[in-house]
A and B are shown apart, each in its own frame.
Chain A
Amino acid sequence: MNEFFKWEYVITLFPKVLSALPTTLFIVLFATLIGSFLGLIIAYCRIERIPIVNQISAVYVSFIRGTPILVQMFIVFYGVPSLLGVIGIDISNWNKLYFIYITYGINTSAYFSEIFRSAISSVPASQYEAAASIGLTKWQTYRRTLIPQAGKIAFPNLGVSIVNLLQNTSLAFSLGVLDIMGKVQTLGALYYRVLEGYFIAAIIFIVLSISLEKLFNMLEKRMHAPKRSRQVTMQPLALERAEAAMTVQKSIK
């Protein structure tokens, strides 16, 4: 280890590190899925102010957002087995990845729930009333009126949150999981070349972060683009009203 940084090691190690990419991406994927599901439920409980659950959710979200994910990871790692041990389930031979999925899922759910909550509450109350006035049930109101509108508002924040999640996965190696950083650490021990490994990891994270960001920007733009199909299926009456509205607007100008 006489020379500090050698490009040839970058080339040798790159494919080996890259082979761990799926592990990292799966953590992101599962955490996003778990986080969305739990996050929506928490957001619902908090918006509807369901007694007790609302308070518990608030504490849960505050705790998750107020503690490092590294600490959460170890609490899950040591806590879940002894919790499940109480009801007689033995998970001592679980893959460590499951603990990672649980940790990152829980962590993401707290952040997502806040994003959902603020997005749903930013939909004007009149929308809710309008939906109720045409006889939609609560579930229908959420599904057909609130969530589609809130989704557009929440989307950019979800994107930022997922990029954060991606970067946070770099801590999973602390449990000994062989994601990108884990791979870099093991290869470092094997080849005595650590800096090159970090360099590769940095490149991969930069590329992933920027592509994710670009992807979300693109999707966001598409989401806000006018939909042609909707104009075509517009009812004649609605068209007439739209035209009337347009002329009124013009005359105001």
Chain B
Amino acid sequence: MDFDFAFMLEAFLAALHYLPTTLLLGFLPLVFGSALGLAIALIRHYEIPILAVFFKWFVTIFKAVPVVLILLVSYLVFSDVLDKIANSLALSISFRDIDRRSIAIFALTLYATSGLSEIFRGAFASIPKGQIDAAYSVGLTTLQVLRRVMIPQVIPLALPLVNNMLISLIKASSLVSMVSVVDILNGAVIEANVNYRYLEAYVAVSIIYWGVCASIEAVTAGYEKYANRNRRRQFA
């Protein structure tokens, strides 16, 4: 079997050069998605009229649509709409000038938001109702109950699932080559375009993904072990 290890190493190094891009495409949507997802979860938890229904549909739709579609449609809409809006507003930005990565981040944020909002909603629902009653009974306001009783209990519950979302995002970021962003995958493939040694390139890049995802998983496992050892909470 013909496998060029030297070239694999070369592709590995070439890909590694773009690791910051891949990490950026994983972490930024996670941060934005967590903030938006938490907001949506709260809106749905408190059943705020109209908005709650709107976001229910939002989440249902974005959970059912493959990420690649979200990405491709975002690209199309941006490429077409942005210039028109810029023209009509006489702004001097055009599609060519904006960083393609921001489109990818936008699309991945949509994907992350729907998933994370469900994670937080589940965590909110799993807080024993008596806790909330007790908090009200000692005279806390709704906002205080949220901040002092609910959020502190939701975060540790949700954290392992949020980490899983980060892994999903890192993997999903491999699709951004479709909107011509150069990430680790694209970086390795470009290297292989010269000599058609694609297998080596893909193996090389898979090792990077594996390393990143396994590290995140190890952090999660470590956290869960820590949380179990210092169990401060008991959800009976």
User: Residue B64 contacts which of A63, A66, A194, A210 (CB distance < 8 angstroms)?
Assistant: A210
CB pair B209 A68 closer than 8 Å: yes
- Would you call the interface of chain A mostly helix, strand, loop, or mixed? helix
Which residues on the B side are within 8 Å of A65 (C-beta)?
Answer: 167, 213
Q: Is the CB of A63 within 8 A of B69?
A: no
> Is B210 at the interface (CB under 8 A from chain A)?
yes
Q: Are B199 and A75 in contact, CB atoms less than 8 angstroms apart?
A: yes
Q: A83 interface residue, CB < 8 Å from B?
A: yes
Docked complex: A155-184 residues within 8 A CB-CB of B: 167-168, 170-171, 181
B1 and A85 contacting across the interface, CB-CB below 8 Å: yes
C-alpha gap A170/B63 in the complex (Å): 14
**Please, what's the 1-or-0 string for A187-203, where 1 marks a CB less than 8 Å from any CB in chain B?**
00000001100100110
Contact, CB under 8 Å: A70 / B199: no
Q: Looking at the complex, which one of A62, A78, A181, A210 makes contact with B199 (CB distance below 8 Å)?
A: A78
Smallest CB separation, B213 vs chain A (Å): 4
Whole-angstrom CA separation of A85 from B60 in the bound complex? 46
Q: Tell which of B143-151, B200-208, B224-232 binds the partner.
A: B200-208
- On whether A67 and B213 interact (CB within 8 A), knowing A194-B76, A209-B64, the answer reads yes
Query: At the interface, yes or no: B194 with Cβ under 8 Å from chain A?
Result: no
Q: Quick check: is A47 within 8 A (CB to CB) of the other chain?
A: no
Interface size class of A (residues with CB under 8 A): 20 to 34
Is B68's CB under 8 angstroms from A171's CB? yes
- Let me know if B174 and A70 touch, CB within 8 A: yes
Interface size on B, residues (CB 8 A): 37
Instruction: Tell me the bound Cα distance from A209 to B67 in angstroms.
Output: 13
Report Cα–Cα, A226/B36, bound state, in Å.
42
Secondary structure at the B interface, as helix, strand, loop or mixed, is helix
CA distance A67 to B77 in the complex (A): 29
Q: Are A74 and B202 in contact (CB under 8 A)?
A: yes
Asked if residues A79 and B199 are in contact (CB atoms below 8 Å), the reply is yes
Say whether B51 faces chain A, with CB atoms less than 8 Å apart: no
- For residue A134, CB closer than 8 A to chain B, the reply is no
Is the CB of B40 closer than 8 A to any CB of chain A? no
Cα separation A69 to B209 with both chains bound (whole Å):
11
Complex formed: what's the CA distance from A18 to B99 in Å?
A: 35
Question: B77 — nearest CB in chain A belongs to which residue?
Answer: A195
B97 at the interface (CB under 8 A from A): no
Per the 8 Å Cβ criterion, residues 171-229 of B in contact with A are: 171-172, 174-175, 185, 198-199, 202-203, 205-206, 209-214, 217
Task: Pick the residue among A75, A83, A85, A195 that contacts B206 (CB under 8 A).
Answer: A75
Kindly state the separation between the CA atoms of A62 and B214 in the bound complex, as whole angstroms: 7
CB proximity of A147 to chain B, nearest CB, Å: 27
Q: Contact check: which of B69, B76, B185 meets A68 at CB < 8 Å?
A: B185
Near A by CB (< 8 A), chain B positions 59-77 give 60-61, 63-69, 72-73, 76-77
Once A4-B80, A170-B66 are accepted as A-B contacts, the answer to whether A68 and B61 lie under 8 Å apart by CB is no
Contact A206 B65 (CB under 8 A): yes
Chain B residues within 8 Å of A198, by CB: 69, 72-73, 76
Would you call B174 and A202 a contact (CB within 8 A)? Answer: no
Q: How far is the CA of A202 from the CA of B60 in the complex (A)?
A: 12
Q: Could you show 12 A-B contacts with beta carbons less than 8 Å apart?
A: A67-B171, A67-B209, A71-B174, A82-B1, A168-B66, A181-B66, A181-B68, A195-B76, A195-B77, A202-B69, A205-B64, A209-B63
- Residues of A near any B CB (own CB < 8 A): 4, 62-63, 65-72, 74-75, 78-79, 82-83, 85-86, 167-168, 170-171, 181, 194-195, 198, 201-202, 205-206, 208-210
